[in-house]
Amino acid sequence: MVKEMKFESSSSNPFSSPSSFLKHNHVFLKFAVCFLLVGLAFRFSDSIRLISVLQPLPPSIETEQETEETESNVSSFLSQTPTSPPTIDSPATNITQNSENVKCDIFTGEWVPDPSGPRYTNESCPVIESHQNCMKNGRPDSAYFYWRWNPRDCELPKFNAQRFLALMRNKSWAFIGDSISRNHVQSLLCLLCQVEQAVEVYHDKEYRSKRWLFPSHNFTLSVIWTPFLVKAATFEDMNGVSTSEIQLYLDKLDKTWTDQYTSLDYLVISGGKWFLKTAIYYENDTVSGCHYCPGKNLTELGFEHAYRNALRLVFNFIKGSDHKASVLFRTTTPDHFENGEWFSGGYCNRTVPFKEGKVDLKDADTVMRNIELEEFEKASDKGAEEGVRLKLLDTTHLSLLRPDGHPGPYRQFQPFAKDQNAKVQTDCLHWCLPGPIDSWNDLVMEMLINGEKYK
């Protein structure tokens, strides 16, 4: 794609008063006419050559460097196009259009080198939790800082903290879900604190749910811990060690978030990995089955049954509420454990992103993603008629390509300081800060600013 180019020419006729020449010299007039005709002939010939030059070169001749320069120039132009006021007010897909009316999917693309590096560090951001503070914990490499997500056919501007805060004046935003949601909100806080420091105004007993205030903008940002989105009783410590099966109520939403719903202007909701855990399922206050509960003499319903029911309940609640908040539903996050899981020696020691087509989702992630897309599509189709503001934040694929962005063994402070061969628990699910998850907020910002393009 190239910009439209306009060529203007100035062809003022030096013979501005031909009648005076008629009066004085007919011979000279004939000479002037002949000269003019010859000149026009040359101009016509030049025009033909100019048209020829403007035709696109055949693919075999056009160099890769010229293509990249053209795309770069166009992307630069698109990023300067004025944008509309913030809204997330129509049913969601991930399609937008650039200024040339070419469709663009911001969730399809590749990770490209970015020499500018991270927008903050662990020293400039005071809210990074220890498990995601890879720099402080001693991770020796830093190449994972220098990549950015690049959609295939359009430009994705970097997150603009100052503009975001200006748009969020007197607003409230909540991230609702599990520890990945907490990871995400930390990334957003780190980006915003480069403009204004947030003040923590609330936390629950275990510091899983928190709320911050940006005083000069009267903007409230929260993370609400509810890993299933539905009512659940869990018996697991902060290290993932469980003493009993999870009790999961598939027909009751978790009031931890629904009681706050009407006070929120924007929400990012997500489910996922917790549904893979052993659980006993309840419906109508009666045990209806389970997932992975050998020896319990219960019907194995599978996590698919539970996840679909939970999402359907969530979307029905959003559609049925009189409060029309703007809601982003974030898709499942794949992990990158290799040769085992977190509890069985799995690791993630890659240092560069995957190339497109070089990695596939694990079976469980594929199942979860399909359920998400199916239930979301049903909800968005019906919700459009009721004025529901629901969109899809599809981070699954771009996250799949980043095996290099996890804490790995550096979820604890200096794990190999005393013993280079120490056996430590690895984290190949959450994200280092700064790290790839910062690009999620680039996507959120784009959807906020250009919401009308994501229909």
pLDDT value of residue 193:
96
Closest CA to 342 of 292, 391, 408: 408
pLDDT value of residue 452:
54
Cα–Cα distance between 71 and 73 in angstroms, integer? 5
47-61, 361-375, 440-454 — which is least confidently predicted?
47-61
> The dihedral of CA 341, 343, 344, 349: what is its sign?
positive
Q: Are 191 and 239 in contact (CB under 8 A)?
A: no
State percent of the chain over pLDDT 70. 76
pLDDT for residue 455 is more than 50 = no
Beta strands 109-113 and 95-97, pairing class:
unpaired
DSSP, res 39: H
Q: What is the pTM of this model?
A: 0.78
Average pLDDT, stretch 286-308? 96
- Comparing 6 with 335, which gets the higher pLDDT? 335
Tell me which amino acid residue 317 is: F
Q: How many other β-carbons are positioned within 10 Å of the β-carbon of residue 284? A: 9
Alpha-carbon Rg for the chain in angstroms: 29
103 pLDDT band, cuts 50/70/90, is low
168: CB partners within 8 A, 6+ apart? 214, 217, 219
Catalytic residues: 179, 427, 430
pLDDT for residue 98 is more than 60 = no
Average pLDDT, stretch 272-285? 95
104 pLDDT band, cuts 50/70/90, is confident
Average pLDDT, stretch 158-163? 97
For residue 117, give Cα distances in angstroms to 114, 175, 435, 436: 6, 26, 10, 11
Closest CA to 210 of 225, 198, 228, 226: 225
Total residues belonging to the chain: 455
DSSP, res 415: T
92 pLDDT band, cuts 50/70/90, is very low
Average pLDDT, the chain: 81
Q: 239-269: per-residue pLDDT in tens?
A: 667 778 999 999 999 999 999 999 999 999 9
Expressed in percent and rounded to 5, the helix, strand and coil fractions of the chain are 35, 20, 45
Closest CA to 225 of 181, 281, 263, 173: 181
Q: Are 107 and 443 in contact (CB under 8 A)?
A: yes
Cα–Cα distance between 256 and 239 in angstroms, integer? 22
pLDDT for residue 43 is more than 60 = no
State the residue for tokens 């029905």: 316
State the first-to-last Cα distance of the chain, in angstroms, to the nearest integer: 24
For residue 242, give Cα distances in angstroms to 166, 204, 245, 281, 359: 43, 20, 7, 17, 31
Q: 363-411: per-residue pLDDT in tens?
A: 999 999 999 999 999 999 877 777 789 999 999 999 999 999 999 999 9
Four-CA torsion 38, 42, 48, 53, nearest 10 degrees = 180
Cis before 415? omega within 30: no
pLDDT value of residue 453:
57
Tell me which amino acid residue 182 is: R
Average pLDDT, stretch 147-168? 95
Average pLDDT, stretch 280-298? 95
- Comparing 349 with 452, which gets the higher pLDDT? 349
Cα–Cα distance between 368 and 364 in angstroms, integer? 6
pLDDT value of residue 23:
37
Average pLDDT, stretch 404-430? 95
Cα–Cα distance between 191 and 187 in angstroms, integer? 6
Average pLDDT, stretch 347-357? 95
Q: 186-227: per-residue pLDDT in tens?
A: 999 999 999 999 999 999 999 999 999 999 999 999 999 999
pLDDT for residue 73 is more than 50 = no
pLDDT for residue 329 is more than 60 = yes
Average pLDDT, stretch 115-124? 95
Report the range out of 58-62, 97-101, 285-289 with the highest average pLDDT. Answer: 285-289
Cα–Cα distance between 343 and 426 in angstroms, integer? 9
pLDDT value of residue 56:
30
pLDDT value of residue 153:
85
DSSP, res 86: P
Tell me which amino acid residue 156 is: L
Report the range out of 92-96, 103-107, 400-404 with the highest average pLDDT. Answer: 400-404
pLDDT value of residue 8:
34
Average pLDDT, stretch 178-183? 97
SS3 (DSSP) at 443? helix
Across-strand partners of 389? Answer: 326
226: CB partners within 8 A, 6+ apart? 176, 177, 178, 254, 256, 257
